[in-house]
Structure 1
Amino acid sequence: MSKDSHEHDKGLEHDLQTLGKMTGRRQLLRWMAGAAAGTALLPLVGCGGGTEGGACDTIPEETAGPYPGDGSNGANALVLSGIVRSDIRSSIAGSTGTAAGVPLTVKLTLVNSNGSCAPLSGYAIYLWHCDRDGKYSMYNLTNENYLRGVQETDSEGTVSFTTIFPGCYSGRMPHIHFEVYPSVAKATSSGNKLKTSQLALPVEACNAAYATTGYSASVTNLSRISFAQDNVFSDGTELQLASVTGSVDAGYVATLLVGIAA
């Protein structure tokens, strides 16, 4: 299990190689349909291969960091009115701020890692991350609660969040936190969570996003860190590195398959 002691808290060829490690006509058809439609690839690449029979690996457990907002250390975004939402760019429950930055859609697909790789519907995923300045709402920004939200997985096990590209603060590679809960009803405090992990973002996409207005500090911070040096991702990102498509102008889409034992 990776530890986090900081104060803040691949292309078509790669996709095809990963597909070759997986079995299941259904997964293949879904991938082909997404590619043919010109949309972002479904997050099969996040499965990190698999065993014979199409099993998906369990995503590593990671620290929630010091700013989870899940009730574990005081602040609890999970009890806020309106926290179950897809667009997490603005604050809710009386706070009015909106996080600025390059548009990013995060799509996570939750699957059973115990042999079937079957989609898990009716679960809840709580997602949060820092703003483009590397600050977290409810902690560094006590008057805001943006960039936090909960979504219920659909029949395909998928949730989608509309957000902004997170900044890179000193000592960490760019990342997005998430927790998995058995249901939206149970997604009210950290005591009910099933899994905590983090999503990593490809350096190429980060460099492009950080070349835009407002991300100047991220350019410097990213130049001083690598996955090998990161205290969460240094043990590997095979199951946590998102597939990212898009552009600064059109916005980015990050997809990841999330396997849990269910």
Structure 2
Amino acid sequence: MVQLTQALAAALLATAAVAHPGGNVNKEILRRQAHLDHPQRRNVQSCKRSLVDSGWVREQHMRREARLHELRVAAGFAKEHELVRRDPAEVEEEYGAAAACTLDPESTEGPYWVVGELIRQDILTGEKGAITHLDINVVDTTTCQPVTNAYVELWGCNSTGVYTGVQARGNGDGSATAIATNALRGVQPTGQNGTASFITVIPGHYVGRTNHLHTIIHHGAQLLPNNTIRGGSISHVGQFYIDQNMLQQVEATAPYNTNKQAITTNARDMLFNMGRQGGDDPVLKVSLIGKTIADGLYATIDVGVNPNARQNPQPVNLWTANGGIPVPNSPWTGYPDSCRNCGFGGGRPPRKA
């Protein structure tokens, strides 16, 4: 598996494709390869027996079934007494066939991470799209126990491929209009089952990347009076993806179908391909709440982390009451033209002839 992965990494590096408009993902590929080659690497699959024997897999399966049914009842697509359950034994048997990664960064934080986001479950802030109720389960792969009292940070672009809280060439029209909003960004604590829940949208696409969500897992952070967090450590920096068939259906709906940027499919996205190596599965499990995407979606994913790992992602902006403001000396400042993390090998892009 390692030899196959290294061959894939070499092929992807040779293509020198962009991660964001004007950027380059060579650095991210190398970081992902280092994760896959780490001798102490473990994923959720490593904990399958413990999670099944403890009853956690069965409990989470039943909780997720109940949550989806609750959403369907609330939307008028089911009656309270109509809950039909799948045999938990089948779920236990299948669990861990593929699972999210751990220990080292699954991927980069990217050029649009904004620190200081609010603790909130509903991060829509008026954005339209395929409304998604997302449950993220966090598992400690060193103890095979759910991670409680951590904070899960989530952010993604809107349905037309624009990130809020930042201004950069290639981020939409490059104007400052998105700086004033923190839509589709937020933080949630993990509960007793290791679950953090959000209400967001399926992200749109933009040049060079398939549709994806970003996440960061915080441990030991302090909750501040202004409903943000500070301090602690970060164990995981990752990205979540959506099945291509579901993406095609989403992209055919409004406002996604107004997005004129070039589409990159999962199969052609190098970070997606690297993310699925080594038995990992960064793809959300998505269910329709009603009959169509417009009726809403319910999505779940399990993320394995080593809480003792230490990652050091770098934000570009800080969220304030006045919108996003630059973080001094950020390696992403000036993206994609002049930042320290820009271009090939993390340096400046080559000059045009």
TM-score range with shorter-chain normalisation?
A: 0.7 to 0.9
Alpha-carbon contact 1:134-1:169 (below 8 Å) kept: yes
Matches of 2:120 and 2:134 in 1, distance apart?
13
1:58 counterpart residue number = 102
Q: Could you say which residue in structure 1 is the equivalent of 2:58? A: 29
Shift of the 47–198 alpha-carbon distance from structure 1 to 2, 3 Å rule, reads farther
> Deviations along 1:202-242, whole A, 9 cap, x unmatched?
112111222111111558733xx233421311214333111
Q: What amino acid is the match of 2:134?
A: V
> Quick one: which of 84, 98, 107 aligns to 2:135?
107
Q: Is the 8 A contact 2:102 2:236 kept in 1?
A: no
The alignment status of 1:121 with 2:158, answered yes or no, reads: no
Distance in 2 between residues matched to 1:184 and 1:158, nearest whole Å: 17
Q: Match of 2:335?
A: none
Unmatched runs of 5 consecutive residues or more in structure 2: 1-8, 24-43, 70-85, 168-177, 308-353
Q: Is the 8 A contact 2:153 2:187 kept in 1?
A: yes
> What is residue 67 of structure 1 aligned with on the other side?
112
Partner in structure 1 of residue 165 of structure 2? 138
* SS of the residue 1:108 aligns to: strand
Kindly provide the amino acid, as one letter, of the partner of residue 119 in structure 1.
P
Name 2:21's counterpart in structure 1: 7
Does the aligned pair in 2 maintain the 1:129–1:147 contact within 8 Å?
yes
Deviations for 1:59-95, whole angstroms, at most 9, x for unmatched residues?
A: 761101100002xxxxxx33xxxx10000011xxxxx
Structure 2 counterparts to residues 37-186 of structure 1, below 5 A: 37=66, 39=68, 47-49=96-98, 58=102, 61=105, 62-70=107-115, 77-78=116-117, 83-90=118-125, 98-114=126-142, 116-140=143-167, 141-185=178-222
**Contact persistence 2:219–2:235 (CA under 8 A):** yes
In structure 2, give the amino acid aligned to 1:227. N
Q: Which amino acid aligns with 2:214?
A: H
- CA 1:152–1:233: 2 relative to 1, 3 Å: same
Task: Tell me which amino acid in the other structure corresponds to 1:205.
Answer: M
Residues 232-243 of structure 1: matches in 2 within 5 Å? 232-237=271-276, 238-243=280-285
Q: Identity of aligned pairs, percent?
A: 23
CA gap 1:168/1:57 in 2 versus in 1, 3 angstroms: closer
User: Unmatched 5+ residue regions in structure 1?
Assistant: 10-17, 51-55, 71-76, 91-97
Shift of 1:109: 0.4
1:238-262 deviations in Å (ceiling 9; x for gaps) = 3311111114132112211000013
Pair 46,197 (structure 1): closer, same or farther in 2 beyond 3 Å = farther
Distance 2:300 2:22 in 1: 24
Note the C-alpha offset of 1:185: 1.3
Q: 1:218–1:241: structure 2 CA closer, same or farther, 3 Å change rule?
A: farther
Mean CA deviation greater in 201-210 or 174-183: 201-210
Alignment match of 1:202 (pick from 221, 240, 243):
243
Higher helix share: 2
Query: Is the 1:47–1:258 contact (alpha carbons within 8 Å) kept by the matching residues of 2?
Result: no
User: Matched residue of 2:188: which SS?
Assistant: strand
The 1:193/1:168 distance shift into structure 2, 3 A limit, reads same
How many Å separate the matches in 2 of 1:157 and 1:121?
5
State the match for 1:13 in structure 2. Answer: none
Q: Deviations over 1:161-189 (max 9, x none)?
A: 00112111121111000101004417746
Alignment of 1:220-259 (within 5 A): 221-222=262-263, 225-237=264-276, 238-246=280-288, 247-259=292-304
Summarize deviations over 1:137-167 as a string: whole Å, max 9, x none. 0114111111100100000000010011211
Task: Tell me if structure 2 keeps the 8 A contact 1:133–1:215.
Answer: yes
* 1:192 Cα offset (Å): 3.5
TM-score of the superposed pair, with normalisation by structure 2: 0.56
CA contact (8 A) 2:151 2:187 kept: yes
Distance 1:136 1:48, change over 3 A: farther
Q: Secondary structure at the match of 1:136?
A: coil
> Using the alignment, how far apart are the partners of 2:219 and 2:61 within structure 1?
30
> Which range moves more in the overlay, 235-244 or 41-50?
41-50
Residues 87 and 227 (structure 1 numbering): CA distance in 2 closer, same or farther, change over 3 Å?
Answer: same
